[in-house]
Each structure stands twice: as structure tokens, then as C-alpha cells.
Amino acid sequence: MSAFPIGKPNDAFAKYFAGQSYLHRLSMKQVVIGNVTFAPGCRNNWHIHYADKGGGQMLPVTAGRGYYQEWGKEPQELKPGDIMRN
């Protein structure tokens, strides 16, 4: 169970997922913060967040488990309390 609301179906970004995800926007000021919840079996398509161009991403895991993988590296299991920065 997460400390954040699950949100609404993430239909605006559905083309980037295989399966259902949900989005609850926590902040749109200065830094965009959103809680994305993945239904069991949901996968993100491969994509890049270019931190050196203002993109970057921080993934604090609040519930469940999943996997994160960078190009050319082994997948890493993510558990509640883990924070992935890229």
C-alpha cells in the first residue's frame, strides 16, 4: 500500500506503457512530481530522461516491487524505500 493516492488511468501516456498505469500529480510548480502506479505486469517502454538537458528523473519506490534497467546494465530490483536517480 502506498502513502499516495493511485490517481486516474494514465491514458495521456498510455502509448509508453504495456499494461495499465495510473497517475496522480503531486506538484506542477518548479519541480514536476507525480505518483505513477503500475498495475501488476505493467511495463514501461524503453526511454531516456536526459538529466544534462533538464530532464532527469528520481524514482522513490513507495510500495510494491519492480525493476529498473539502464542501457547496457543488468536490471535492478526495486523495493519500497529504494530511490533510483538518473
Question: Per-residue DSSP letters for 26-84?
Answer: EE-SSS-EEEEEE-TT-EEPP----GGGT---EEE--SS-EEE--TTS--EEE-TT-EE
Predicted TM-score of the model (pTM): 0.78
**Grid coordinates in use for 23?**
497517475
What's the rounded mean pLDDT across residues 63-77?
91
Per residue in 30-57, pLDDT (tens digit) is: 888 889 999 999 999 988 877 777 677 8
Of residues 30, 32, 25, 35, the one with CA closest to residue 59: 35
Domain boundaries, the chain: 8-85
pLDDT range class, residue 21, cuts 50, 70, 90: very high
